[in-house]
Structure formats: structure tokens, C-alpha cells
Amino acid sequence: MKRVWVAVLTACLAAVFAAGAGGEEKVRLILKSARQASVYYAFAVGQAGAIMEGAPDIEVTIEESPGSMVNVKESRIRENFVFTSPTTLISSARQGKGDFSEGGYEKIRSLWPLPGIIMHWVVREDSGINDLKELVGKRFIPGGAGSAGVKVTETVFDALGIKDNVTMVLIDLNEGVQAVKNDRAIGFATSSSVPAGMISEIAATMPIRLLGLDDWAYEKISGQYSRRVIPAGTYSGVDYDVNTIGQIVGAYATLDVSEDVVYKITRAFWENRPVWEKTHPAMKLIQLEDVNLLKAPVHPGALRYYREIGFEVKEYKE
């Protein structure tokens, strides 16, 4: 399994951290995030940097992932494991529903919020497609294989009544841009904060169209997703607002990670905010209040920190 050490972990910094820890053996954590090209990988770099800045006895390795579904699945079996996921997957996993019917996810606990995902459905402008329902009979990439975006797209297509009539191409989303450029697919979906790097990349090389979700369709899924708007001008050539949907995303661990370790990383995360704010503009939008929206009880270690700073954590009920 490929592991990518964060850039901030240079030999020089490692020496400083070791000295700060008094020579004691470090606790090593895995932070499972997303593909390296994703903005969520950038978010992970910021989180890891803040943790190691504020807790020099903890070493964080960022591990790439094909998507949030994999992150949640691996939480059952990995040790010293921190991961990111949209809240809908966490809720389903803890209740043993859908793709998580095997159970065993009751130990998942929330740590802190991250910028939410915004659904982007993109097609070539010369495709003649102006509406999601017009994807019927077309080859479309619903998101990266194993990602939360695939599940969202399937839910939306089901609400639109087109799920069984769109040829959904499941590939690594890193291939999505080239697949559209080479006419192997009419378009692709990605769940990302705005601006999404993949959308910016393809918009810079060819005319595109972002497809919105009509209000009548949104009403069918409004209990699962929040309404979001991608502002006009966010991407080259897209000079109109796009009505879409989004989800809250959070960082999570299981109860198998000790209370003391989670207390340290939670404190380090919040007290070194300038470190992670530098990694991406969306990180500046993180609000402490969103801790109460993460669809899982707060980890006892994180809870200790929140109580210490006087933040009220609401009791979570499934």
C-alpha cells in the first residue's frame, strides 16, 4: 500500500520533534485522506502539519485513498488510524446500513470538521447536454471508484429516475479528465470543495458545462444533502450560478485510538490553525460549531479538549 510522507516531515523538523519529545518513542498515526491530486489531500497535509507542530511526540503519515468509502471500511481493521469522510457515510456505517451491512463500525468517533464536499457534474460543452436527465443513454463517470461522489451521484440519478439508463463508468477519477477529452465518457462527477482542481484543469483546456440539480429533484433528497451553489466565474467559461448539493465532511478515529493521543491531536489541530489555513482557501471556512454536525459521538479525547476550552458538545443521538 502506497504511503506518502507529508512534505513538512523533513529530516530537520524530525530532529526538532524528536528533541521536543525528550527522546521518547513517537506515536505514529496514519491519516487516510484522498488521492494526492485532490484538495482533500491538501487538507490532510495541513492537518498533519498542525498536529506535528503542536504534538511533537506524534508522527503523522498521510496515506492516499481512492475515496471515503475505503476510508470508512478500513477503520474497522486499522490501528492508530485517523480518516476523513462525509457524514452520510459515517451515519450509514454506524447503523450497519447499505454498503456497511457487515457491521462493526460502532466505535467510530468524531474529531473535528473539515470543508464539505460540493457535487460537480461536468460535461463537454459540445456534448449538447444541458440537464442531468439528458445523460440517459450516455457513458458517464459518476465519481472515482470507491468515493463518496459515486454514492451521491447514484442517489441523485435514482431520484431523477435515470439511474438504470445511464452507463456509469467506474474508473479511478485521476483518469476522468482524459476520459472526457478522449470521448470515452460524456462527462464525470467529482465531490470536492470549491474550487475543484480537476474541474479547473479541464476548464482550462476545453469548454465545459456544469450541470445543476433542479429544485423539484432536490426536494426528493433534501433530507440527506444540503443545497449549495457554485458561483458564476468559479471556473473558466462557466459564467452562471450552478445549483447543486453538498455534505459536511469530518475527521474521525475509533475508540481504539487512546484518549490521550486524541486529546493531543485535537488540541494541536485547533491551536495551530494558521498551519492548515495556508494549505487551501477552503480551510479558512472551518467552524468549531460544526463539531456538533458530524453524525457520530465525539471521541473522549477530543471531548476532553472541547470541555477544556468551554465549547459545548451536544449529546449525539442516532
Give the three cell numbers for residue 293: 454536525
> In the prediction, which pLDDT does 288 show?
93
Q: Domain check: are 86 and 196 in the same one?
A: no
252 in Cβ contact with 74 (< 8 Å): no
Angle at 150 between CA 172 and CA 288, to 5 degrees: 105
Stated pTM of the model? 0.76
Q: State how far Cα 16 lies from the chain centre.
A: 31
Residue 185 is assigned to a structural domain of this protein: yes
Are 168 and 201 members of one domain?
Answer: yes
Q: Choose the final residue of a domain: 212, 229, 246.
A: 246
Same domain, 123 and 239: yes
pLDDT of residue 318: 74
Domain identity same for 54 and 151? no
* Residues 20 and 77 reside in one and the same domain: yes
Let me know if residue 41 belongs to a domain.
Answer: yes
For the domain that residue 205 is a member of, what is the CATH number? 3.40.190.10
Same domain flag for 121 and 230: yes
Q: Is residue 168 domain-resident? A: yes
Asked if residues 287 and 151 have their Cβ atoms less than 8 Å apart, the reply is no
Helix (H, G, I), strand (E, B) or coil at 128: coil
Q: Are residues 146 and 88 in the same domain?
A: no
The whole-number pLDDT of residue 16 equals: 39
Task: Let me know whether 100 and 199 are in one domain.
Answer: no
Position 24 scores a pLDDT of: 63
Instruction: Assess whether 40 and 110 both reside in one domain.
Output: yes
List C-alpha distances in Å: 199 to 49, 209, 248: 27, 10, 20
Q: pLDDT in tens for each of the 318 residues of the chain?
A: 334 334 433 333 443 344 444 456 899 999 999 888 788 999 999 999 999 999 999 999 999 998 899 999 999 999 999 999 999 899 999 999 988 999 999 999 999 999 998 999 999 999 999 999 999 999 999 988 778 889 899 999 999 999 999 999 988 877 888 888 888 999 999 988 888 888 998 999 999 999 999 999 999 998 888 888 999 999 999 999 999 998 889 999 999 999 999 999 999 999 999 999 999 888 988 989 999 989 999 999 999 999 999 999 998 887
Q: What is the pLDDT of residue 23?
A: 53
pLDDT of residue 2: 39
Pick from 246, 261, 278: which residue ends a domain? 246
| Confidence at residue 4, expressed as pLDDT on a 0 to 100 scale | 38
Same structural domain, 261 and 186: no
- Residue 314 belongs to some domain of the structure: no
Which of 246, 266, 286 corresponds to the end of one domain? 246
Its domain, for residue 56, covers 11-115+249-308
> What total number of domains does the chain contain?
2
Is the alpha carbon torsion for 35, 40, 45, 48 positive or negative?
A: negative
